[in-house]
């Protein structure tokens, strides 16, 4: 067979393959790509390229090429997903423009004011314990001695005070559970 006739036969077989299985394969790949039409189309095209690169698969004598095509398409989708996961997430320039600067003094000042206001809302006993343990850096034993209360009371008041602060500072994404 001349190469021109062989190429024409390969093109016809590939066109028949796409006509017979293209829609079903595209729907299958669309599901694997979570509805991303562009990725599904790319995977469909790559699957058909693989079929063209492996004419022995076309001439295998199987009743249908669909299982082979679906297997190749699924493997390509898995490989593409793994490749995307191995690369760092890409962020567009517009997302960077709207993000806060790491050394944003105004943001830190606002946060400090919010924390101070939240601490003011605490009961006196809870506020005293937090002042000793967090703001003065004292241990539980040192805070216990300074406040004249048992160490267990320092621990429980600290726990309740932190819970109250989490509720008061809910807009900062703190876990409230």
- Tell which residue, 61, 54, 67, has the closest CA to residue 21: 67
Give me the pLDDT at residue 4, please: 46
Q: Count CA atoms within 13 Å of residue 177 on its CB side.
A: 0
Cα dist. 79→30, 32, 82, 160 in Å?
15, 12, 5, 50
Note the pLDDT tens digit of each residue in 126-171: 999 988 988 888 999 999 999 999 999 999 998 898 888 888 887 7
> DSSP alpha helices (H): ranges in 33-149?
37-53, 55-58, 66-86, 93-98, 105-120, 124-130, 140-147
Query: CA-to-CA distance for 174 and 92, rounded, in angstroms?
Result: 27
Cα dist. 132→9, 114, 121, 154 in Å?
85, 20, 17, 10
Note the pLDDT tens digit of each residue in 104-113: 677 778 777 8
Note the pLDDT tens digit of each residue in 53-78: 887 877 766 778 889 999 999 999 99
Sequence-distant (6+) residues with CB within 8 A of 36 are 30
Go through the domains of the chain in sequence order and give each one's CATH number. 3-86 (1.10.1740), 104-172 (1.10.10.10)
Least confident of 10-14, 79-83, 96-100, 163-167: 96-100
Query: CA-to-CA distance for 117 and 56, rounded, in angstroms?
Result: 74
> Could you give the maximum distance between any two Cα atoms of the chain, in Å?
101
- Tell which residue, 72, 81, 82, 60, has the closest CA to residue 28: 72
Query: CA-to-CA distance for 48 and 50, rounded, in angstroms?
Result: 5
């Amino acid at each position: 067979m001349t190469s021109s006739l062989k190429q024409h036969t390969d093109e016809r077989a590939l066109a028949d393959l796409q006509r017979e299985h293209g829609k079903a394969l595209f729907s299958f790949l669309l599901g694997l790509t979570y509805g991303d039409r562009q990725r599904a189309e790319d995977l469909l095209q790559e699957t058909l390229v693989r079929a063209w690169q492996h004419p022995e698969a076309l001439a295998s004598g199987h009743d249908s090429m669909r299982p082979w095509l679906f297997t190749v398409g699924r493997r390509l989708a898995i490989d593409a997903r793994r490749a995307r996961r191995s690369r760092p997430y890409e962020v567009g320039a517009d997302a960077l423009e709207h993000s806060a600067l790491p050394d944003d003094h105004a943001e830190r000042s606002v946060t400090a004011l919010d924390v101070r206001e939240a601490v003011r809302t605490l009961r006196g006993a809870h506020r005293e314990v937090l002042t000793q343990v967090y703001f003065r850096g004292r241990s539980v034993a040192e805070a216990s001695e300074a406040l004249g209360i048992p160490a267990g009371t320092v621990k429980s008041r600290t726990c309740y005070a932190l819970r109250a602060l989490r509720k008061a500072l809910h807009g900062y994404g703190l876990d409230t559970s």
